[in-house]
Structure 1
Amino acid sequence: MIINSLFLASGSNDMFTIVLVCFIVILAAVLLKLVKQPYIIAYMLTGILIGKQGLKLITNEDLIKNLGEFGLILLLFFIGMEINISNIFKQWKTALFGTIFQILGSIFLIGLIGLFFNWNFNRILILGFIISLSSSAVVIKLLQDNKESETPVGQSIISILLMQDILIVIMLILSNYLGGEAPSTKDILLQFVGGAFLISLMIWVLRKKEFTIPFIKNLKEDHELQVFIALIFCFGLSTLTSFFGLSAALGAFLAGMLVNAAKYTTWIHNSLHAFRVVLVAIFFLSIGMLIDLTFLFKNWQIVCLLLLSVYLANHFINSIILYAFGRNWKNSVYGGALLGQVGELAFILSTTALTTNVISNYEYQLTIITIALTLFISPLWILLTKKIINF
């Protein structure tokens, strides 16, 4: 009886926390909708409020982070389902050369800052890699919300983001080398095989254009099994890419594009939609919880300087790249704004740089809060750019 009472009390507290978090999300979303801001900002604001810097409703950040990673995978899977793989491959020049120029431009900018602060080459290179990575989760969601993912500039942006997701593997390998922890031959071989497999898979889909997954028609009316099959589609390729040492999010994105090319798979979207809403919200909640207000107030000057430098640099570099690859100035400046923030994959690169002693703990904290704040500011920056362009 006592055990049952304790269990019920604990369960009541957990349920109250869930209800309270949902209420805060709704309140923030409604208020931000009045000023035409996306739900992403509401989720991150809620994360700040409920985390260790606010009401301390949720203190197990590892749990939230793990759930958030599932949310990111689901989000990119859904994004992939709305992307035509042949349209992406038409932008391969923009994707490949644009991303390389973007990375080199970011390293050059960090190099200039590093000369002033007397940073070594390793630190300059890693921080350059970090700020060159934009957010697939934020950018593609905003493109879809604004019905711009199929526009020429939208296709260019998505192709660049996909190329960044691929090149993160090389960045992680270099980060380990710079820290004195060179990956084993087995790891490099696995990544090479995994990359070759994914490229072969995409080429096969491009040639087939449309194909049928065996037995898929038999599930048309079986709504319960549809949920589990849809989860296998989403997390199956993610697990495979993780095994090869590649990004799980990249695997989910490619799985979504495969589903898009396959026949009789429209029910997958409906089967996982509810999971997507909840887990994507948790992902952005976890980003909000990473914003350490104490650290921010203590170092607000350098954080503001970094934010301004990152946004102006990324915006300028990407605008020039998009213009060089055939976009007009209006679309190029808008595309530069879309790619202005630092993306979620930069968290992984920052953690690797810390564990290999390429950056110090202070620089890691500075990097993490800068990444989180660029994600938070991104929708506002894009909206401001859009208004200026239209004006």
Structure 2
Amino acid sequence: MVLLSGLASEVNLLLIISLLIVVLGLILRRFNQPYIIAYILSGIILGPHGLAIVTDITIAQHLGDIGLIILMFFIGMEISLPDFLKRWKVAFFGTGMQVVFSVILMYILGTFLDWSFNRMVLLGFIISISSSAVVIKLIQDQTDPTSKTSQNVISILLTQDILIVPMIIVLSLLGGDSLDVKQVALQITGGILIIITMIYLIKKQKIKLPFEKILSDDHELQIFAGLIACFGIALLTSLFELSASLGALVSGILINASDSNKWLHDSLHSFRVILISIFFISVGMLINLTFLKEHWLAVSLLVLIVYISNHGINAISLKLLGNTWRESLIGGSFLAQIGEFSFVLATIGLQQGIISNYGYQITIIVIAITIFISPFWVLLTHKTIGIVE
């Protein structure tokens, strides 16, 4: 009876989540808004800071981490390295300017607020990373993924994701009382291996996977082969003290360079929808409404600073790289939020003693809110440009 009772409660929870997403999704669809907002709102409503139907967010966060790994795997499968190299100037200079100007902005702000240098660097890194999860979904829903603006934005996102490796290493060097040589050595080794893999793919352009021919017509085993490819490399990168999501991205890029891209994409699509929704639900659960109420002014100012600075920096960067002002402003709007990898950086900052628990809480809630606001910001930018034109 206890088992049945526990099962019934889990079924009820799944039913409530599904009903809430459907209702919110139908409402948002009438206003041409993406389902991401419905997922995050569901997390806010159901989470410990809402109706408290879900009080233990640890499980949701773990499932969300799995969803993020799947998402990064799918993003990788959309990335062709030869096409990426055609836009290397946009990717490297655009991302480089974003990181440098973000750190400079935090240095200026930190000087007035008496922050430590380590904290300035950490927060500069955090706001310089945009959300691949949000942006790719918005591009697919609202624009042409093959357009110049979309391709430029995707190139910058990929470079940002790769830059997570040196950022993690730098934060490991900055934080703590003593340097963990073993950890840093593992991270550097992992980063070098990723670079070697990318260079190999660029030279080969096309690779063959060992299971391609055997599983090409077996749709059931394709699902498990895809999961092995995704989580196998994700596990390897985590063993090197790097993000598992980064490994999933690399795995997806490997699949893109093979002939397995299409059938793996189709076979895992259902997993993608479910697990990605869980990731965004877990983001919503991180939004502490009580904390937000108590510190609404500081959170609001930080969110505003993030959006204005990120939008401005990215728009100017894209303009300097030869885009029109229209393309640059739209591209900047897509990249204005803070990304999911910044959760990882914030956690490292807390573990290394770079930020306090209060600093961590306010950082997490700002990241979550910028992700939530992103679709509205992109829509506002489109409407504003339309009015001006």
Same fold (TM over 0.5): yes
Equivalent residue, structure 2, for 1:105: 101
Unpaired runs of at least 5, structure 1: none
Aligned CA-pair RMSD: 1.6
**SS in structure 2 at match of 1:166:** helix
Where does residue 281 of structure 2 map in the other structure?
Answer: 285
Instruction: State which of 224, 244, 250 in structure 2 corresponds to 1:228.
Output: 224
| Post-superposition CA distance 1:134-161 (Å, at most 9, x none) | 1111112212223533222222222222
Q: Deviations over 1:298-332 (max 9, x none)?
A: 11111111111110000001111111111111110
Distance 1:68 1:86, change over 3 A: same
Question: What's the secondary structure of 1:343's corresponding residue?
Answer: coil
- Contact 1:217–1:264 under 8 Å retained in 2: no
Q: Per the alignment, do residues 214 and 360 of structure 1 end up closer, same or farther by CA in structure 2, a change over 3 Å counting?
A: closer
1:5-16 alignment runs, 5 A limit: 5-16=1-12
Look up the match of 2:292.
296
Deviation by residue 1:200-240 (Cα, 9 ceiling, x = unmatched): 22222222222332341221222221111111111122112
Shift of the 186–284 alpha-carbon distance from structure 1 to 2, 3 Å rule, reads same
Give the distance between the partners of 1:290 and 1:188, measured in 2 at CA.
29
What's the counterpart of residue 214 of structure 2? 218
Letter matched to residue 263 of structure 2 = W
SS state of the match for residue 341, structure 1?
Answer: coil
Where in structure 2 are there 5+ consecutive unaligned residues?
none
How many residues align? The count is 387
Taking the TM superposition and a 5 Å limit, the aligned residue runs for 1:193-342 are 193-342=189-338
What residue number does 2:39 align with? Answer: 43
Tell me which residue corresponds to 1:62.
58
Could you tell me whether the CA contact under 8 Å between 2:90 and 2:321 is conserved in 1?
yes
Matches within 5 A, 1:151-162: 151-162=147-158
Percentage of identical aligned residues:
48
Measured in 2, the distance between the counterparts of 1:198 and 1:56 equals: 42
Which residue does 1:388 correspond to in 2?
384
Shift of 1:186: 3.1
Q: Which amino acid aligns with 2:37?
A: I
| Distance of 1:240 and 1:355 partners within structure 2 | 22
Structure 1 CA distance, aligned partners of 2:166 and 2:202?
A: 25
- Cα distance, 1:181 vs. partner? 4.7
Does 2:1 align with 1:22? no
Q: Give the aligned partner of residue 134 of structure 2.
A: 138
Contact 1:79 1:141 in 2 (8 A): no
Residue 40 of structure 1 and its aligned partner are, at CA, apart by: 0.4
- Number of the residue aligned with 2:343: 347
Give the TM-score, by structure 1 length. 0.94
What amino acid sits opposite 1:372 in the alignment?
A: A
Do the aligned residues in 2 keep the contact of 1:99 with 1:163 (CA within 8 Å)? Answer: yes
Contact 1:216-1:265 at 8 Å conserved across structures: no
Distance 1:45 1:216, change over 3 A: same
- Matched letter for residue 27 of structure 1: V
User: In the alignment, residue 273 of structure 2 is paired with which amino acid?
Assistant: V
Any idea what SS the aligned residue of 2:268 has? helix
* Among candidates 361, 365, 373, match of residue 369 of structure 1: 365
Whether the 8 Å contact between 2:92 and 2:159 is mirrored in structure 1 is yes
What secondary structure is seen at the aligned counterpart in 2 of 1:266? helix
SS of the residue corresponding to residue 230 of structure 1 reads helix
Q: Whole-Å Cα distance in 1 between the matches of residues 167 and 297 of structure 2?
A: 29
Of stretches 145-154 and 159-168 in structure 1, the one that deviates more from structure 2 is: 145-154
Q: 1:165–1:247: 8 Å Cα contact kept in structure 2?
A: no
What are the superposed Cα offsets for residues 167-215 of structure 1, whole Å, 9 maximum, x if unpaired?
2222223323332255533333333332232222222222222233234
Greater Cα offset, 111-120 or 60-69: 111-120
1:73-106 Cα offsets, whole Å, 9 max, x none, are 1112112222222111222222222222211211
* Residue range with higher mean Cα deviation, 288-297 or 259-268: 259-268
* Cα distance in structure 2, aligned partners of 1:264 and 1:9: 43
Alignment partner, residue 129 of structure 1: 125
Distance (whole Å) between structure 1 residues aligned to residue 98 and residue 341 of structure 2: 16
Tell me, yes or no, if the aligned pair for 2:44 and 2:287 is still in contact at 8 Å.
yes
| Mapped partners of 1:241, 1:68: distance in 2 | 18
Give the letter aligned to residue 379 of structure 2: L
Contact 2:77 2:261 in 1 (8 A): no
